[in-house]
Amino acid sequence: MNKRDYSEIDDILDKIIMGKVSEDNFTDVLSGYTGDELMKELQTHEAAAVAIQRNAVLRQVSLVHNAYFKNRNKEAWTVRGNFRFWLSAAAILIVVPALIVMFLYATNSPDRLFASQYHTYRLNVDRTSSQSNKELLASNYQAGKYNEVITQFESLTSKSVGDKMIAAFAYMELNNYKAAIPLFNAVISNNIVTRENLYQDEAEYYLALSYLKAKQIEQSYQLFSKIYSDTEHTFNGRLNKWFIMRLKWLREQN
């Protein structure tokens, strides 16, 4: 932070409330800050705002007094009105943006990030490596009978990649993310051994989400970063800088 011009974050914060900053501009600046650095910058920003307001008070009081003694009628009240207006404007343009960012940082959580990304997976049974169990598992999954999917899956003596994916998705729908994690990992490991990519992108994306919900932030961050960096990944378009930055903040807090 020693080499960064402080006016950079000042400028971006002031532009938020004026609607003159895009999401990319906002995230480009904030992504360069760790969580602790950001909070220090915002605290400094608030302190500067207080100093500006105090200075404005002293200056405007002096103007009011001078105007009052020169002309004890309309002009004095005009200066006082201007003082109130500019002091309020300063509070809005300086303090409010900082509070917005502080709120976003303070309310950042795994659950919020998960909710912003999770969508129930729509099953495509045609890609499963084994069709023997597709009707047994897929029909119940598509009907929303997730407990029955798990019961049927656990009774299988031979479990294909497709079977494991269906079961993992069912576990996620049942909020049992710790049970889904080893199944997604098994699919990824199997692809490494067989040199295939069957359900690879789906397994990585939903594994990253399962890690996030299970509060395994480091694993989630590493996997989501991989997906975000891979423009060919099926789920690359779902991620943006803002999501990755907030995930980075969570990583620093753990």
Residue 7 contacts by C-beta under 8 Å, 6 or more apart in sequence? none
Instruction: With cut-offs at 50, 70 and 90, classify the pLDDT of residue 6.
Output: very low
Instruction: With cut-offs at 50, 70 and 90, classify the pLDDT of residue 200.
Output: very high
45-97 pLDDT, tens digit per residue, is 555 555 555 555 445 545 544 554 455 545 444 545 555 555 555 555 555 55
Q: How far is CA 225 from CA 25, 191, 217, in A?
A: 20, 20, 12
Tell me: pLDDT of 121 over 90.
Answer: yes
Tell me: pLDDT of 25 over 70.
Answer: no
Tell me: pLDDT of 194 over 60.
Answer: yes
The burial class, CB within 10 Å (0-12 / 13-18 / 19+), for 97 is buried
Three-state helix/strand/coil letters over 126-146: HHCCCCCCHHHHHHHHHCCCH
More confident residue, 58 or 146: 146
- What does the DSSP assignment read for 197-253? -TTHHHHHHHHHHHHHHTT-HHHHHHHHHHHHH-TTSTTGGG--HHHHHHHHHHHHH
Q: How far is CA 86 from CA 14, 55, 59, 78, in A?
A: 15, 12, 12, 12
- Spell out the alpha helix ranges (H) of 20-73: 23-30, 35-70
Tell me: pLDDT of 13 over 90.
Answer: no
Specify the CATH superfamily of domain 114-253: Tetratricopeptide repeat domain (1.25.40.10)
Residue spans per domain, the chain = 7-107, 114-253
CB 205 within 8 A of CB 169: no
